[in-house]
Amino acid sequence: MSDDNSEPRGGEEVDSDESPGFSNLERSDLDDEASSQGLFDDLLSGEPIFENKEVLRPSYTPHELPHRSDQINKMATILVAALRGETPSNILIYGKTGTGKTASAKFVSKELESTSQKYSVPCDVEYINCEVTDTQYRVLAQLANKFIEKNEARIDDRVAELEELLEALDEYMTDAAVEPEFDTDAEPEFDDETVVSDDLAESDRFADTESPDRATAVPDDDVDGNDQLPAAHPLESTPFDSRGEVETKIENLEADKESFEEVPMTGWPTDRVYSVFFDAVDYDERVVVIMLDEIDKLVEKSGDDTLYNLSRMNSELENSRVSIIGISNDLKFTDFLDPRVKSSLGEEEIVFPPYDANQLRDILEHRSEVAFKPGALSDDVIPLCAAFAAQEHGDARRALDLLRTAGELAERSQTETIVEEHVRQAQDKIELDRVVEVVRTLPTQSKLVLFAIILLEKNGVHSINTGEVFNIYKRLCEEIDADVLTQRRVTDLISELDMLGIVNAVVVSKGRYGRTKEISLSVPIDETEAVLLSDSRLSDIDDVQPFVQARFEN
């Protein structure tokens, strides 16, 4: 019989508060590790919804573009001239935001470059976003540096090929020294009058490559350029006659590479930048396609000098040819171009119409197959995204943003399926983000006008008119020491805010008192005010209440 108070035997374990098998130090380490499990570990514990989120971003170029085959085929029929070594016509592409202009142009360009490599036809395509690179200097500098980089890469490849040729020449000479006879089975007979060709004897053609037995005589009428060489000679079917010529070519290529000078982003005269760009383009024989996205932004900021220079380059180029593809959201931007630029630039025009809801649905279904894991979408998600985007002039970019944002919201809530509610939340979030970005980038005078409207609405004023806005606007300008614009100019700023969708301004008739604009906000008031007050100048306004009261006094 065992005694409950007896000591435990050697093989028995004693119950304690400590985990079995761990010392106090080890247990402390485990507790520290457990306490470190938190922020990101919890977020990573859920199953991801996305398979490849990048497919839903505007920067992604798909392998197939639904409902754009007509426009793509038209571009291809124009640009195929480049594969024949000819200069393609310049192309202007029009269409509203999100109609597939850039994606289609990039798709065709990628196909053009891959096909040119397949047929060994030199063709380069360069893409410039003129919303970012919006001055003549920046455009030319960026293009110059890109072509300098391409030229350097081609020089490196060519030098590597020539060095391999020299190695093959060395191996050939080593083999020739060991086995000097080319054909021991059939020895040609020559009479005493047969001599070595004078051309061969006088040149250093094989000075570096001859073996002692290589001076086998050949008839004069068989001596013709590289026909003198045995079939296995490395210089056969090359433009070089000797090792020295190969080495000289390598030296010249390396000297060319050293002569290239990268253009700084500021500091040079524009004509010097153009000269470097011109020389870089004309260094090799090739067809160059320059794609200028948001080309209207370049014209708006810098005029049409850049387009004039680019469109006139072909008359001066000797080795290469240049073609331009311009992409614009503004169908009327060519109205502001010089007639000479307009005629040369707009040789071919392609218009991209907006997508309808069914086409947007096809695009989303096509992308979602790659973007999401199987079963991640409920049936009503894609039709709802397509319907929301179709309301805004058939914007595929908006539809993709909606679907991606809905997926991100679902993933953050750690749900396994994206549902209709996630799409509606994404719609609200995108709209708010758009408003915040638009308001944040407004000029100071427009911010003051908008701030005046917000102050009036916050104090219960409805059907705000232009005169009331102007009175508050003047006091705000005085507070931050800003110039006061005329009431007519303030009316124009209100119209601009209306075009941006920030306010709603409707002209109403007051009978014999004339007409006036009734103004109301179209955006969330608190979020918009917070963005305005984040501006350092507007944040200096301490107390805005007196200005609103002053409105009633006036």
Q: How many CA atoms lie within 13 A of 526 on its CB side?
A: 0
**Residues in the chain, overall count:** 554
CA distance 293 to 130: 6
Is the separation of the CB atoms in 449 and 521 below 8 Å?
Answer: no
308 is an annotated ligand-binding site residue: no
- The sheet carrying 91-95 orders its strands as 123-129, 287-293, 321-328, 91-95, 348-352
Compute and round to an integer the Cα radius of gyration of the chain. 37
- If DSSP codes are grouped into helix, strand and coil, which group holds residue 292? strand
Distances in Å between the Cα of 304 and the Cα atoms of 25, 341, 511 are: 74, 8, 47
Residue 176, both tokens: 């020739």
Is the separation of the CB atoms in 136 and 322 below 8 Å?
Answer: no
Burial level of 488, CB count in 10 A (0-12/13-18/19+)?
exposed
491 is an annotated ligand-binding site residue: no
The 3-state secondary structure of 65-122 reads CCCCHHHHHHHHHHHHHHHHCCCCCCEEEEECCCCCHHHHHHHHHHHHHHHHHHCCCC
517 is an annotated ligand-binding site residue: no
Burial 88-99 (b: 16+ CB within 10 A, else e): bebbbbbbbbbb
CA distance 383 to 246: 65
Listed residue (416, 372, 375) closest to 52, CA to CA: 372
The conformational region for residue 15 under phi > 0 = left, psi -120 to 50 = alpha, else beta, is beta
Tell how many helices (H) and how many strands (E) occur in the chain: 20, 7
Is the separation of the CB atoms in 151 and 284 below 8 Å?
Answer: yes
What is the identity of the amino acid at 33? E
Listed residue (132, 127, 155) closest to 143, CA to CA: 127
100 is an annotated ligand-binding site residue: yes
Residue 410, both tokens: 């679902």
355 is an annotated ligand-binding site residue: yes
466 is an annotated ligand-binding site residue: no
209 is an annotated ligand-binding site residue: no
Binding site membership for ATP: which residues?
Answer: 99-103, 355, 367
Binding site membership: which residues?
Answer: 99-103, 355, 367
